[in-house]
Amino acid sequence: MQKRRMSLVSPKIETLMVHTDSRFGLVLLASRRAREINSYFNQLGDGLGTIVPPQVASVSRKPLSIALEEIEPGKIVPAEVDEPTPAPPLEVA
C-alpha cells in the first residue's frame, strides 16, 4: 500500500502555476513579493507606510509563505514588462 506524502509547499505548485508561464516566473514573483512583505514588517514602527501590506490573512510568519498564499487566489499577479528596444549601432567615421 502506497502512503501519501505530505508536501512542504502549501499551496500546491500546480495551483500556483496557473498564474505564471513557468516555474522560474513563479519563483521571481514570489521572491519579489516576499522581499516587499519583509520590508513592510521592518518599517512598521517607522510610520512610513509606503509598502503594500500582506493581502491575505495568514497564520504563517514567513514572508515567502505569505507571498505564495497571496499568489494562489490571484491577489498578486506578474506585471507585463515591455522589452527595451536595442539602440542602433554607432557608425565609426
Domain boundaries of the chain, sorted by first residue: 13-71
Report pLDDT digits (tens) over 8-27. Answer: 667 888 888 888 888 998 99
4 vs 40, more confident: 40
Confirm whether pTM is higher than 0.75. Answer: no
Is the separation of the CB atoms in 16 and 33 below 8 Å?
no
Can you tell me the distance from the alpha carbon of 13 to that of 18, in angstroms, rounded to the nearest whole number?
9
Q: How far is CA 36 from CA 19, 50, 91, in A?
A: 19, 10, 44
Tell me what pLDDT residue 34 has: 93
Mean pLDDT of the residues in the chain = 81
Tell me what pLDDT residue 21 has: 86
Confidence category of residue 35, pLDDT binned at 50, 70, 90:
very high
pLDDT at 28 > cutoff 80: yes
